[in-house]
Amino acid sequence: MKAYITHLSRLSIITLSMLLLMGLPALAQRGAARTRINTSKLMEIKNVDVIYISPAMLQSVPKASLKIDGADAMSGVMDGITSIHIYTSSDRKAIQELRRTFAPITELRHSDLEQLMYIKDDNGIVNLIGQLQGDNASELYMIVSSDEEYTVINFSGSFSRRELEKAVTQDNSRKRKK
C-alpha cells in the first residue's frame, strides 16, 4: 500500500508540475499582453509639448469635425477614439528623449504591436502602429519623424482590424491618385 501511495504521489507531483509548466507560457503571454509606455516623465522635459484630449472633450466635439480630409473610411476609426495624447518637439535633446521613450513602440519590441502603415518620403517618416489584442486595437500610435521634428499621437480607444484596414487602404489609394 505504501508503494502505491508513493507512486500516486509521484504521479501527482509530475502531473502538477506539467500543468504548472504548461501554464507558465500562457502567464508570460498575459504579462506581456500590453506594452506600456511611461510618458509621465515627458511632462517634465523642457521643449516637449504635451497635449491631452479627454473623453469628455471628445464627446463635446462633433464627430464630423474629426474627419480627416473628409475620408469616410476614417469615420469608423474616429468613432472608436476615447482619448488622444500628443507629444511633440523640435528641440534635438527633447527629440532624443521622445525617441527613447517610444522606442518599444517604434522598434515593435513586443508581440502585441503591429505596424499598420509606413510612409517614407523626403520630408520624413510616418508610422502607424497598433497595439492589438486579437482583431482589436486598444492603442494606435502615429509617429511622425523628421530631422527637425518628432511627434507621437496616441489614440486610445477600441478599433477593429477591419476599420483599420479600410482606413489604411483608402488612404494609400488616395495617395496614388495624387
Instruction: Please provide the DSSP assignment of 36-80 as one string.
Output: ----GGGGGSTT-EEEEE-HHHHHHS-GGGG-STT-TTHHHHHHT
Confidence band of 117 (pLDDT split at 50, 70, 90):
confident
- Interatomic CA distance for residues 157 and 76, integer angstroms: 11
Confidence band of 23 (pLDDT split at 50, 70, 90):
very low
Q: Which of 102-111, 113-122, 152-161, 167-176 has the lowest mean pLDDT?
A: 167-176
* AA letter at 13: I
Higher pLDDT, 71 or 143: 143
Residues 6+ apart with CB under 8 A from 38: 101
pLDDT for 39: 85
Report residue 32 as a C-alpha cell. 506581456
Higher pLDDT, 152 or 161: 152
Confidence band of 86 (pLDDT split at 50, 70, 90):
very high
